[in-house]
Structure 1
Amino acid sequence: MLTVLMATGTLVAVLGVLAGKLMLWRFPVPKKHPETSRPSLSVIIPARNEAHRIGPLLESLMDQLYPDMEVIVVDDDSSDRTAEIARIAGARVLRSASAPDGTAGKSAACWMGAAAANGELFLFLDADTRLQAQDSLDKLVSEYGARGGNGLLSVQPYHTVMRPYENLSAVFNLIVMAGMNTFTPARWNLPPAGAFGGCILCSRADYIGTGGHHAIRGELMDDLALGAAFRDSGLPVYCLGGRNVISLRMYPDGIRSLVEGWTKSMASGVSSTHPAVTALVSLWIAGAFMPAATLAAAAWNGMAGWITAGAALYLLYGLEVFRLIRKAGNFRFTTVLLYPFHFLFFTAVFIWSLYAVRIRKRVTWRGRQVDL
């Protein structure tokens, strides 16, 4: 009986490796296309208490070679030096204060910035992102133009890890990317679930025509909602990876902010993911636990052959996980040895997210209690 269980676990692990390959089959990134034009561009940055994070982004924007751009920082009721730092860096600063009607927050800040912008194109960037090269804006706009110059182009920034606990975001990053449905084999032609919130590019006309962030005010996951609004208006939505173009450092304030951030987003995105991708993600997660379970059971019962097979399978799964996460961020090689712990941590946060979003209907983010 034990042998049958370990054989079944091995099969699930092998299928999990295959599922991981399919759910993240390709990682397209923005590229230059010489034949495309470079319209005027407004970069809009909503920022709340980002004094310790916004500097690198503003510096990278000042280094851009893009010919016609403006930078607008919308200070979302910050209590630190966010606005002052933005002004010193040369950005135009607007103040978005809390309002009793619930319109404060990121969506309200983005809408305010768009209303004041002058560009033909709008680029919304999170304050903790950073452009990786002097031609990053050029690549983003060029890719948008090459895809027709309409709809919405969103990019998942490449995750920069600096402290050990930040590696705990590895599995979350991959599942967020997989959940967009668009990194599967191209022939599947699955509809995008939404957009990545850290980097969103669209035209002024399309943004105003869909109602932009004003139309999705009150939504917890503004990125998913905005992508859905464009899609429902018949406009295309493109999701790409950001390696060598744009990066971010997520949750540098400690593990508590990491848990709060992923609690806010995980359960909310499940319903937008295509059932086929959900099945692949579930199989990938289940498969991740099987090698360790097989190895432990074999060692406990002194089954030498299964110990060797379990160790080989453990290493295979770990290397495959590492291959994928390095496409999403500079995560450490230690994840190969500790990957079951990363999946366990993800599972625990996901269950807590389901409780907070679906039952308690309240999450905490950036010092605000958000009622759902």
Structure 2
Amino acid sequence: MAWLATFCLLGLPAGFLLLWHIPSCRSKICSGHEAISLIIPARNEEGNLPGLLGSIRESAAQPAEIIVVDDASTDATASVAEAHGAVVLRSHPLPAGWTGKNWACFQGAQQASADVLLFLDADAWFSHQGFEHIANAYCIGGDGGVAMSVLPYHVVKKPYEELSLFFNLLMAMGAGGFGWLGGPRLFGQSLIVSRDLYNAGGGHESVSKNILENLALSSHFERAGGRCICYGGRGVLNVRMFPNGFAQLCEGWTKAFADGAAASGAAILCLSIFWLTAMCTCFLAIWLAHGHWRITFGLIYILFALQLLYFARQIGNFSAVVCLFYPLPLFFYFGLFARSLYRKLFHRSVNWRGRTL
């Protein structure tokens, strides 16, 4: 049992290598920033747009323009956007070889007038003065050669949403550069970039068919001489990813999470597997061990739960209870990841927002 306990203990430093601290752009100050065009790809987002557009209206700093690209919505997305003062761009029919989001972002970039572009998912919304904090952080970050992304703070309102814990953590670990391994990539929910770097990297046209366009864009921007910066969204930018039920959560994470794992890099992928395996092994060992070994594994289990709580509170308002009973979201993660991998290997499609991916 000693070797097994050692294996589990090594999982703790492995976790900190993957995620140590997520910096916030909340405290950044800039004397002035360039005009920014805010581009929001939107497909059937009538329920989310009021929250996002209302949060922008309450900010002291304002974008030069707000462009909502209506991606063939069948609800009141366009009228809701117009009622909140946004410019609505009706998307042209989706060409072959494009995902809906990439096509919408591409059209929005062509329409935008400012030299800095902020792409933002419609289900996100700003905290008080959040837009100003992001604009200031980008202003400080560089001279136009920077692509910046903010990982939105995950707002959990219903018990089933707690099951997103490990998906959100692995996303932060794989793309944010928040640990001791790997550099920052970009997150899919937000991107702020100069038009010059956007065009030099090929923009969304260069990643037209990628479901995880953020990871592909990171590489394109770096090859064009740019660099990526990532921040956490706590106190700045929020998101509630799957408010419409458990089925939406399952389909949302299934559609591309296997691709995301493969794109994380070999070192991060291997260390992530080791960390997750150590946590799982520790839980199982409690039931298999006897005497003082059961106590030992129980103590290691508590350390993992505390580590998870430290991580979780940086990315969302996940509860201490779900961290204490982490095997539930962990085994759910394993199951859904296996489902995503199966669909990728056997070319099975996923339906998302009325489209087949």
Tell me if 1:142 matches 2:136: yes
Hey, what's the Cα distance between the residues in 2 that align with 1:92 and 1:30? 28
Give the C-alpha shift of residue 267 in structure 1. Answer: 0.8
Give the C-alpha shift of residue 103 in structure 1. Answer: 3.4
TM-score, L = length of structure 2:
0.95
Given that 1:181 and 1:274 are in contact with CA atoms closer than 8 Å, whether structure 2 keeps it comes out as: no
Aligned residue in 2 for 1:216:
207
Matches within 5 A, 1:233-272: 233-272=224-263
Structure 1 gaps, min length 5: none
Structure 2 gaps, min length 5: none
Given that 2:56 and 2:62 are in contact with CA atoms closer than 8 Å, whether structure 1 keeps it comes out as: no
Tell me if 1:90 matches 2:85: yes
SS at match of 1:56: helix
Q: AA paired with 1:211? A: G
Hey, what's the Cα distance between the residues in 2 that align with 1:258 and 1:46? 20
Q: AA paired with 1:105? A: G
Alignment partner of 2:192 out of 192, 201, 208: 201
- Indicate how the Cα distance of structure 1 residues 14 and 230 shifts in structure 2: closer, same or farther if over 3 A, else same: same
Hey, what's the Cα distance between the residues in 2 that align with 1:68 and 1:355? 42
Aligned residue in 1 for 2:37:
42
TM-score, L = length of structure 1:
0.91
- Indicate how the Cα distance of structure 1 residues 309 and 103 shifts in structure 2: closer, same or farther if over 3 A, else same: closer
Matches within 5 A, 1:54-203: 54-103=49-98, 105-134=100-129, 136-149=130-143, 150-180=145-175, 182-185=177-180, 190-192=182-184, 194-203=185-194
- Indicate how the Cα distance of structure 1 residues 105 and 287 shifts in structure 2: closer, same or farther if over 3 A, else same: same
Hey, what's the Cα distance between the residues in 2 that align with 1:117 and 1:243? 28
Q: Deviations over 1:229-261 (max 9, x none)?
A: 112212101122111110100111111111111
Q: Deviations over 1:22-49 (max 9, x none)?
A: 1001211214544553111110000111
Tell me if 1:231 matches 2:222: yes
Alignment partner of 2:334 out of 347, 363, 366: 347
Hey, what's the Cα distance between the residues in 2 that align with 1:343 and 1:37? 44
Given that 2:197 and 2:224 are in contact with CA atoms closer than 8 Å, whether structure 1 keeps it comes out as: no
Given that 1:156 and 1:177 are in contact with CA atoms closer than 8 Å, whether structure 2 keeps it comes out as: yes
Give the C-alpha shift of residue 217 in structure 1. Answer: 0.6
- Indicate how the Cα distance of structure 1 residues 181 and 127 shifts in structure 2: closer, same or farther if over 3 A, else same: closer
Give the C-alpha shift of residue 348 in structure 1. Answer: 0.9
Once structures 1 and 2 are overlaid, which stretch shifts more, 140-149 or 172-181? 140-149
Once structures 1 and 2 are overlaid, which stretch shifts more, 229-238 or 64-73? 64-73
Hey, what's the Cα distance between the residues in 2 that align with 1:116 and 1:214? 14
Aligned residue in 2 for 1:331:
318
Q: AA paired with 2:307? A: E
Give the C-alpha shift of residue 9 in structure 1. Answer: 2.7
Given that 2:8 and 2:282 are in contact with CA atoms closer than 8 Å, whether structure 1 keeps it comes out as: yes
Hey, what's the Cα distance between the residues in 1 that align with 2:112 and 2:288? 62
Aligned residue in 2 for 1:275:
266
Given that 1:32 and 1:138 are in contact with CA atoms closer than 8 Å, whether structure 2 keeps it comes out as: no
Q: AA paired with 1:48? A: R
Q: Deviations over 1:213-233 (max 9, x none)?
A: 112111121111222211221
Tell me if 1:365 matches 2:352: yes
Q: Deviations over 1:175-194 (max 9, x none)?
A: 01111261123xx5x343x3
SS at match of 1:220: coil
- Indicate how the Cα distance of structure 1 residues 346 and 64 shifts in structure 2: closer, same or farther if over 3 A, else same: same
Given that 1:322 and 1:333 are in contact with CA atoms closer than 8 Å, whether structure 2 keeps it comes out as: yes
Tell me if 1:321 matches 2:308: yes
Q: CA RMSD in A?
A: 1.7
Tell me if 1:305 matches 2:292: yes
Hey, what's the Cα distance between the residues in 1 that align with 2:236 and 2:201? 27
